[in-house]
Amino acid sequence: MFVPVKSKSGKKLMPTKPNKAGMLIKKGLATPYWSNGIFCIRLNYEPETDYTQEIAIGVDPGSKKEGFTVKSESHTYLNVEADAHNKVGKKVEKRRELRRGRRSRKCGNRKNRTNRLTNKDRIPAGTRARWDWKLRILDWLSKLYPITHICVEDIKARTIERAKKWNTSFSPLEVGKQWFYTEIKTRWQLVTLQGWETKEIRDRLGLKKSSKKLSETFDAHCVDSWCLAYHTVGGDSIPENRDIFCISPIPIRRRTLHREQPKKGGIRSRYGGTVLANGLVKNTLVKHAKYGLTRLSGINAKGLFSIYNLAGKRLTTGANRNSFRVLTRLNFNYRNGHSSQR
């Protein structure tokens, strides 16, 4: 994996190899730092030349998993397999049910407001979250590499004449896709390919796609994103880097005022919050004395913290404040996938 490089002024430069990055750090010419699991360096001086090549990101959208590949003509810098952002629509529906339940109970609450979104152009919450997740990943990668092009595999919803229910179900797909394309055009150059065109590129290069769509391997989704990036910037016809970096959205509970089920006596206790204690916030990356790199999730009545690993598995609910050191906020969960060098 190549190491992203920034100049002293913050300008993104071409990535370098790990051994050269280590040499610059050892000589005091660069400062190391981490960006959501990616090791980077920042130069302590301004280079004489800031020449950069064209770097493209290939985007392979999917319903459960998605692939992203950062590539130039010379090298493949990073392959990312991301879990798709879903279940937002069900959460919005549940929030609406809980809100209506609070309105019907005899308890103090503010007067109901009229629907302020009536007759306004907007994207459904689930659709916006799904496509905004892709845009967040692109913005994160653009902070590491000097990105110039974005190549997306264009997906289309087939409409059926006089099938209102079918067409209505797939209309958010087209709305979200067009919003996504509009946002990309304001930042980078957009290139789109149809699915059959991606397959032709893959077959011409002798690459095979795995039928196991949920597997965390290069052949599952990143092979298509690599073909999209290869179509944009060219280069060697054989992927030199098949290692993948897996990320997933952090499950955040927003605006859940009370627990769904009341306790004895009909009392509904308040449910958590973003701020925990002493300025600590949920989803903060910490280094625990026993478990290593973990993230904060919650705090109980005794002042003890819940600690989760980066894959989302709970490790303990009784972590003391003196047992971990705060590092930085996390934008998503990350983990290493399986490499398949050939």
| pLDDT of 339 over the 50 cut | no
Write down how long the chain is: 342
Q: Does pLDDT of 287 surpass 50?
A: yes
What mean pLDDT is predicted for residues 261-280?
Answer: 76
User: What span, in angstroms and rounded, lies between the C-alpha atoms of 191 and 231?
Assistant: 10
Return the ∠ at Cα 220 (arms to 219 and 225), rounded to 5°. Answer: 80
Q: How far apart are CA 168 and CA 123, in angstroms?
A: 14
On average, the pLDDT of the chain sits at 86
Residue type at position 119? N
Could you tell me the pLDDT band of residue 110, with boundaries at 50, 70 and 90?
low
Task: Determine the average pLDDT of the residues in 86-112.
Answer: 77
Assign a CATH topology to domain 53-86+123-249: Nucleotidyltransferase; domain 5 (3.30.420)
Q: In this model, does residue 255 exceed pLDDT 70? A: no
Contact of 202 with 224, CB cutoff 8 Å = yes
pLDDT in tens, 182-197: 999 999 999 999 999 9
CA pair distance 32, 68, nearest whole angstrom: 24
* CA–CA dist 56, 78 (Å, integer): 11
Across 157-161, 255-259, 338-342, the highest mean pLDDT is recorded for 157-161
Residues 6+ apart with CB under 8 A from 99: none
Q: Tell me the H-state helices in 1-124.
A: 18-26, 88-104
- Integer Cα distance of 209 and 331 in angstroms: 29
| pLDDT tens figures, 30-41 | 999 988 889 999
Confidence of residue 334 (pLDDT cuts 50, 70, 90): confident
Lowest-confidence range among 4-8, 165-169, 230-234, 275-279? Answer: 165-169
Q: What is the pLDDT of residue 289?
A: 93
3-state DSSP assignment of residue 214: coil
Average pLDDT of the residues in 196-215: 92
Angle, CA of 22, 28 and 30, to the nearest 5°: 60
Does residue 124 carry a pLDDT above 70?
A: yes
**DSSP assignment letter at 336:** E
